Amino acid sequence: MDERLKLIDDVIALNNRKIAIINKKASESRKPMSKEDKKKTSKLYFINRELGKMKYEIVQTLVIGNDTPIIEILGLPKLNEDIDYYKSMFPQTYMTLENIINALIEEYKRIGIGGGTFGFSVSPEWEDKCYAFEPIGKNCGKVYYKYVGIYKS
């Protein structure tokens, strides 16, 4: 894995821990979260979202070849959340964002933009749960897919 991706994952995990601590502190005190804590958590969520976008761009540059279209995924933040969830359950075998993009490219090469909703297993250890995608269209060398969510196959 590219070191930049590992660093981004580590920062996102650290931010998530900070958010959890702030939320726990607020729930234990049984008082509404302070304005300062709300600002902190909203900044951390914003940073995580931007880091997720950077991670996606890095993965795209690692995966793309000369004759390969750029894959755009609508719903990327939710996909990243789901990947992180299954990564915690199956750290050795989870489906990475890079693997998902490769699979989308292969699916595009195989059938084009036609067809309906399709999916990829979250892990070989749990093949009946799939990341589901719906093709949207193609424009200017980009192929667009909508991340639909997790489905049971």
| Phi and psi torsions of 101, nearest 5° | -65, -45
What is d(CA 131, CA 120) in angstroms, rounded to the nearest whole number? 5
What is d(CA 148, CA 146) in angstroms, rounded to the nearest whole number? 6
Which amino acid is located at 44 in the chain? L
What is d(CA 1, CA 122) in angstroms, rounded to the nearest whole number? 18
Output DSSP code: residue 121: E
In 37-141 the beta strands, taken as DSSP E runs, fall at 70-74, 118-123, 126-139
What is d(CA 7, CA 63) in angstroms, rounded to the nearest whole number? 19
pLDDT tens for the 153 residues of the chain, in order: 567 778 888 888 888 888 888 888 888 888 788 888 888 888 888 888 888 888 777 776 666 554 677 888 889 889 999 999 989 888 888 888 889 998 888 888 887 777 788 888 888 888 888 999 998 888 777 888 999 999 887
